Chains A and B, each alone.
Chain A
């Protein structure tokens, strides 16, 4: 059974700092991995999607890496801003079968002005 873990559970940083969020998964037979952002009272917004054959994806100040063999992914946020404050979730998609996403428990990020 796929288990996804995110560390740390919560993180507070001063504005302008670079930071890294971690995600690990137990079954390396994944199709892709996706990072989401969740704001209070709102749904999930997709940030980056990395296919299993890729090593990283970049979007603006965000960079996500994937090491499928070791079951790890990181989300790097450069020059953090107060607007980045949210919960960040990673999710992996199985290689076969239904389009199920297995989510981690999330990292709650607070960027202090």
Chain B
């Protein structure tokens, strides 16, 4: 079974530029999550999708971050414009559905460096 795929694996940009990350969840998984992991910290949930609807985006900085999952499969997370403090690893995870019993499976992450 293929795991969660993410691209790119690494990205370096200047502050105020825009960047987009892509995630392809495990086939059949209805729930998709984006986490931000700043160096030395644990991952923090940014947004959770159930199919193509948003379940929780309470910690997403909506003035600069946006995410979509138009067809309920792949998802894109965008930052526009980027700030220095956005430097982090962005992890995508998926689960069969969003109930508490469902284990989340994580992708390898995208490491973003903002200069």
Contact = CB atoms under 8 A, between A and B. Distances in A.
- Main SS at interface, chain A: strand
Contacts of A42: 108-109
Contacts of B42: 4, 89, 91, 103-106
A31 B100 contact: yes
Contacts, number: 62
B43 A105 contact: no
Nearest to A104: B42
Q: How large is the interface on A (under 10, 10 to 19, 20 to 34, 35 or more residues)?
A: 20 to 34
B43 A95 contact: no
Contact of A99 (B9, B95, B109): B95
Nearest to B9: A41
Contacts of B102: 99
Given A31-B100, A101-B104, A44 B43 contact: yes
Interface of A: 4, 31-32, 34, 36, 41-46, 49, 89, 91, 93-101, 103-106
Interface of B: 4, 9, 31, 33, 40-45, 48, 55-56, 91, 93, 95, 98-109, 111
- By Cβ-Cβ distance, the 4 closest A-B pairs, closest first, are A103-B42, A43-B106, A31-B100, A44-B106
